[in-house]
Structure 1
Amino acid sequence: MRHASGIMRKIEILFGMPWGHIVYYGPGGVFSKARTGISYPNGIAKSADGELIYAVASSEPSISAFKADGDGVLSLVAKKVFRGFVPDNVSVDNASGNLLVAGFLNTFEMFRYNREVLRGTDARPAGSVRRLALSPDPRIGFVEESVLSHDGTLLPSTTMAVIQRRNGIKRMLLGSVMADHIAICY
C-alpha cells in the first residue's frame, strides 16, 4: 500500500490501485522490491517446498503464485482471478500442498462491520473458504473448490483459515481480525 491512512488509502483500496508490492529479503541481508503493481496485497505464504510464493491481491481480487529467481525477482507462475469472492489471507496445507484462501462474499457488509464493530453492529459479513491446487497446466493456473460458505453467523468477517493436524485429527481453524473468538470446523 502506498498510503498508510487517510482519504488516499480509502481511494487506493476502493478503486484497487495497483500500488502495492512484495519485498524480498535476500541472503545478503538486502531488501528489494521483488514484484510491483499489486492491488492491495493482503496475504502472503510460501509453498511447503519453499519454491513458490503465493500473494493475495484483495482489490483485484486474485491470488498469484510466483517463483523467485536468484536475484530476488518474482516471476509469475499462475494466477486466479475470483468472481463473487474477495480473498483476504492465504495459508498452505503442508501435507497436501493445497492453499486455503479465506475471504468475503459481500465487501460492503464487511466494511460496515469493520466500521461499526466497536460500537455494536448487526452486520454479519458472509464468509467463504476456498481450496486451491496449482494446476499442472499453466493456462489454467489453479483448480478451485469451495470448502465452506457461511452467512456470517459462524464467524463474522472471516479473514483466515488454516488446517491443523494433531493426534490423527484434522480440522480447519477460522479466524477474524475483528472477532473475539475463532471457529473450529471438523
Structure 2
Amino acid sequence: MFFSLMNIRSILMVLSLGISSFIGKTMYDAGEFKNIHSHFDGRCTSVYGLNGPEDITILDNGIALISADDRWKTLEGIPVQGKIFSYDLNDPLPQLVNMTQDIEFEFHPHGISTYQNKDGEIRLFAVNHTSNGNTIEAFVFQDDRLMHLETISDPLLISPNDLVMLDRDRFYVTNDHGTRTSFGKMSEEYLQLSLANILFYDGENFHIAMEGLSYPNGINKSLNGDTIYVSESIGKTISICSRDSENNTLILEKEIYLDSGLDNIELDKKGNLWIGSHPKALAFLRHAKDPEELSPSQVIRLSIKGNGDHISKEVYMNMGDELSGSSVASVYNNMLLIGAVFEDHFLLCHLGE
C-alpha cells in the first residue's frame, strides 16, 4: 500500500509539473510576459461611425475601403448587418460612406481584396460569415456603390479569414482553422496545431494550395503578383511563397519570424509589407469577451530585399487605450490607417518624416 501511494503521488507530481509547464509555455508563446512601451513617430486621430473595422485596403486613387462588422453584437447573439465603407483620403473633410447599403442578404464581412483591370473596372471580394455558413461575396463598383455580383460557396471554406485577388475571378483565401467544431478550433489554438490551409479559387472551383499552417490569417501578393505573403498568427511568422505556374499551389520559399500575433497584410507603393498585429494574444482574447479589457495594438513594417534579406520595424505600439486589438495597417502617402477587430473607430495617423 505504501509503494502504491508513493507511485500515485509521483504520478500526480509529474502531471502537475507537466500542466504547469504547458500553461507557462502557452502564456510565454502568447506574449503574456512582454513589456509594452507605447510609441509612434507621428500623430493619430480617431474616426468614429462604424463598428469592427477589421480590414482596410486603399485603392490607388486614395479611397480607403473598410470592412466593418459589430462582432460584439454577434457574440451576444444579436447580430446586426455588417458594412463596407469608403473613406476618401484626398478629401480634406472625408466622410464614411456605406457602400453596401443596398444588399439584402445576411452580411458579416471579414477580409477583403480588390482588383482593378485595364479598363478601370474595380471588383471587390469579401469573406462573409453567415448563420448558414461561410461564403465569398463578389462586388463591382458602380455609381459609387458596391453592386453584388455573386455568392461563392464551398464545403472547403471551413474558416475563411482573408483573401487576395489575382484577377477579376481568381483568388487565394486563408482558412485560419482546419477543424469545424469549437473544441477542435480551441485545440488547434492552445496546442498550436498546424492543421489549417490556404485555398485557391480558379473561377469555378476551389483547390487546396497549401497545408500544414498554424492559424494563417492575412494574405496578400507582391506588386508584380509573383509572390504571395501569408501571416500566421499562432506561428508568428510571415511566409513568403512562390506560385506554381501550372496548378497555382503555393511553394514556401522563406519564413520570417516576427514574434507577434500577426493579422492582415497590406503593401505600400514600394512593396513594403504593413502588418497589423496582436503582441499579446491572451489579452486580445480577454478583449474579445469584455470591451473594458484592453488589448495592445502593434503595427510592423517589413521590407524584403531582392537578395532575400529583410528589415522589420515596429512603427506603432500602444497599450490599447488609443485602439485595442489592431488587425490591419494600410498606407497612402504619409497617412496610416489602423483598424481593429472590435473597436467602434479606426485611427487616421500621419507618419513622421
* TM-score, normalising length: structure 2: 0.47
- Matched residue type, 1:110: F
Q: Does 1:40 align with 2:208?
A: no
Q: Whose helix fraction is larger, Structure 1's or Structure 2's?
A: 2
**Larger radius of gyration, structure 1 or 2?**
2
Aligned to 1:92: 267
Deviation at 1:184, TM superposition (A): 0.8
Contact 1:159–1:176 (Cα < 8 Å) also in 2: yes
Aligned to 2:26: none
- The Cα offsets for residues 88-146 of structure 1, whole Å up to 9 and x where unpaired, read as 111111x11000011112111111000123xxx2x2111111111113333x4x32111
- The Cα offsets for residues 63-88 of structure 1, whole Å up to 9 and x where unpaired, read as 111111112121122211122x2111
Q: Distance in 2 between matches of 1:135 and 1:5?
A: 41
Query: For structure 2, which runs of at least 5 residues remain unmatched after alignment?
Result: 1-176
Q: Does 1:115 align with 2:317?
A: no
Q: 1:163 aligns with which of 331, 339, 343?
A: 331
Q: Does 1:79 align with 2:255?
A: yes
Aligned to 1:174: 338
Moved over 6 A (4+): none
Residues 60 and 177 of structure 1: CA distance in aligned 2, closer, same or farther (over 3 Å): same
For these two proteins, the number of residue pairs brought into alignment is 173
Residues 100 and 152 of structure 1: CA distance in aligned 2, closer, same or farther (over 3 Å): same
Q: Does 1:51 align with 2:215?
A: no
Deviation at 1:13, TM superposition (A): 1.5
Q: Distance in 2 between matches of 1:4 and 1:162?
A: 31
Please state whether the residue corresponding to 2:345 is helix, strand or coil: coil
- Matched residue type, 1:54: Y
Deviation at 1:151, TM superposition (A): 1.1
> How well do the aligned residues superpose, as a CA RMSD in angstroms?
1.5
Q: Does 1:13 align with 2:189?
A: yes
Please state whether the residue corresponding to 2:284 is helix, strand or coil: helix
Contact 2:178–2:197 (Cα < 8 Å) also in 1: no
Identity of aligned residues (%): 25
Please state whether the residue corresponding to 1:159 is helix, strand or coil: strand
Please state whether the residue corresponding to 2:262 is helix, strand or coil: strand
Contact 2:219–2:230 (Cα < 8 Å) also in 1: yes
Aligned to 1:144: 312
Q: 1:4 aligns with which of 169, 180, 202?
A: 180
Deviation at 1:5, TM superposition (A): 4.0
